[in-house]
Chains A and B, each alone.
Chain A
């Protein structure tokens, strides 16, 4: 019985290991509120999105999520692109629970693989803002500067 409880506890701890609590993205290629509104409305159609809070002045969208849903970063990016614009900054706030991280070694967090670059700390604890560095999540200039080899889908280059 104790073993089973322990097993449940382990499974539970792995599952809640780390959670994406929100995403803050900045869109580019627009200035008018009609354009911003088209992004806002497109993001709201995603079934895992709870709320979208738009700062029209800075073209920034704060996205919160429904509990226990699979949050797909690529779908979020595609919604912005389908509205006719681009993502220049994509920062996910993730709650970590002592996760060991080694530079350029994939670590699985909330069902996604992350390759952290320029990590200074050996482990992550508490809420951290994780910036996604893949193509389409940063400006083309920044992407070029980083020059990562192309990664597989759902594996993201990230930095703090």
Chain B
């Protein structure tokens, strides 16, 4: 399994790419100080062994608290139970602690953490702080920007707790911890040359997300290709597909489409 993965990475690093505003992971760069961004994530996932489509809506507010600190808050809504309803929310923070900037390039590192609360029933061994489990996630991310290409990688630890409304983490406390590894690559495709802020930017991205459960040793590995359009240097639309490459973890709906709509208000506060 490992070999094809690294061959895929090697190949990708020379062909398909994108900038660093990734669709599944976050880069080490933080948001501009004083900015407020709004994001609407739509996930349309196929439930395994059923004809059901799980729709998740995650509205999020993102605040550039300072040049080094971004704080976000989101709520989780889905139709996974009988009717479309709110299931919980999370608070996330990212602190950029290293920056080496040069013209058209940078290397940056950041630490991040997320605390989640979720009331839905626990139905899979995969631990997911963005819409499935209560608990926390913390890690570090490093991002390298080289002209039109961005590479980013993160490592984080996750600890699932019991969900709200009496929904226990049913796989045992020894299996409630996991490590996530991500690798993202992106490339600016258009415009070939910048002349105006109103030019639409098109980025292509490929992301790999891997989780290893520290108790059971079970894992999953996903790939998420996406295309991103940035309008007016202020609004963005990402359209992507997330697919499972390999997994030994029990998962209910690992594959599906996602659409992200986002708008940033610069200098919204001092």
The residues of A with any CB-CB pair to B shorter than 8 Å are 26, 28-34, 36-38, 40-42, 45, 54, 56-57, 59, 81-86, 88, 139-140
CA distance A59 to B194 in the complex (A): 10
Indicate if B168 sits at the interface (CB-CB under 8 A). no
Chain B interface bracket (under 10, 10 to 19, 20 to 34, 35 or more): 35 or more
B194 touches A33 (CB 8 A): yes
A56 touches B21 (CB 8 A): no
B104 touches A31 (CB 8 A): yes
Given A37-B266, A86-B99: A57 touches B32 (CB 8 Å cut-off): no
Indicate if B106 sits at the interface (CB-CB under 8 A). yes
Which of A28, A37, A84 contacts B103 (CB under 8 A)? A28
B30 touches A84 (CB 8 A): yes
A interface footprint on B28-62 (CB within 8 Å = 1, 0 otherwise): 01111111000000000000000000000000000
A interface footprint on B188-204 (CB within 8 Å = 1, 0 otherwise): 10000111110101000
A38 touches B35 (CB 8 A): yes
Q: Which of B67, B103, B195, B264 has the most CB of A within 10 A?
A: B103
Given A33-B201, A33-B230, A45-B267: A57 touches B193 (CB 8 Å cut-off): yes
Indicate if B66 sits at the interface (CB-CB under 8 A). yes
Q: In whole Å, how far is B263's beta carbon from the nearest beta carbon of chain A? A: 11
Q: In whole Å, how far is B269's beta carbon from the nearest beta carbon of chain A? A: 11
Known: A42-B32, A84-B31. 15 other contacts (CB 8 A): A28-B103, A28-B104, A31-B147, A32-B201, A33-B201, A33-B230, A34-B201, A37-B197, A38-B35, A42-B267, A82-B34, A82-B67, A83-B32, A84-B29, A84-B32
Q: Which of B145, B188, B197 has the most CB of A within 10 A?
A: B197
Residues 98-122 (chain B) with a chain A CB within 8 angstroms: 99-106
A57 touches B266 (CB 8 A): no
Indicate if B233 sits at the interface (CB-CB under 8 A). yes
A41 touches B266 (CB 8 A): yes
Indicate if B234 sits at the interface (CB-CB under 8 A). yes
The residues of B with any CB-CB pair to A shorter than 8 Å are 19, 21, 29-35, 64, 66-67, 99-106, 145, 147-148, 188, 193-197, 199, 201, 230, 233-234, 236, 264, 266-267
Nearest first, the 3 A-B pairs at minimum CB distance are: A29-B101, A37-B233, A56-B194
A26 touches B103 (CB 8 A): yes
A29 touches B102 (CB 8 A): yes
B267 touches A34 (CB 8 A): no
CA distance A73 to B126 in the complex (A): 52
Which of A26, A28, A30, A33 contacts B197 (CB under 8 A)? A33
Which of A33, A37, A86 contacts B101 (CB under 8 A)? A86
B102 touches A139 (CB 8 A): yes
Q: Which of B66, B106, B266 has the most CB of A within 10 A?
A: B266
B99 touches A82 (CB 8 A): no
**CB-based nearest A residue for B270:** A45
CA distance A140 to B102 in the complex (A): 9
Given A33-B201, A86-B99: A59 touches B104 (CB 8 Å cut-off): yes
CA distance A36 to B194 in the complex (A): 11
CA distance A38 to B19 in the complex (A): 16
**CB-based nearest B residue for A89:** B103
Q: In whole Å, how far is A86's beta carbon from the nearest beta carbon of chain B? A: 4
CA distance A32 to B18 in the complex (A): 11
Q: Which of A31, A41, A140 has the most CB of B within 10 A?
A: A31
Q: In whole Å, how far is B260's beta carbon from the nearest beta carbon of chain A? A: 14
Q: In whole Å, how far is A3's beta carbon from the nearest beta carbon of chain B? A: 48
CA distance A85 to B33 in the complex (A): 11
**CB-based nearest A residue for B230:** A34
What chain B residues lie within 8 Å of A54 (beta carbons)? 197
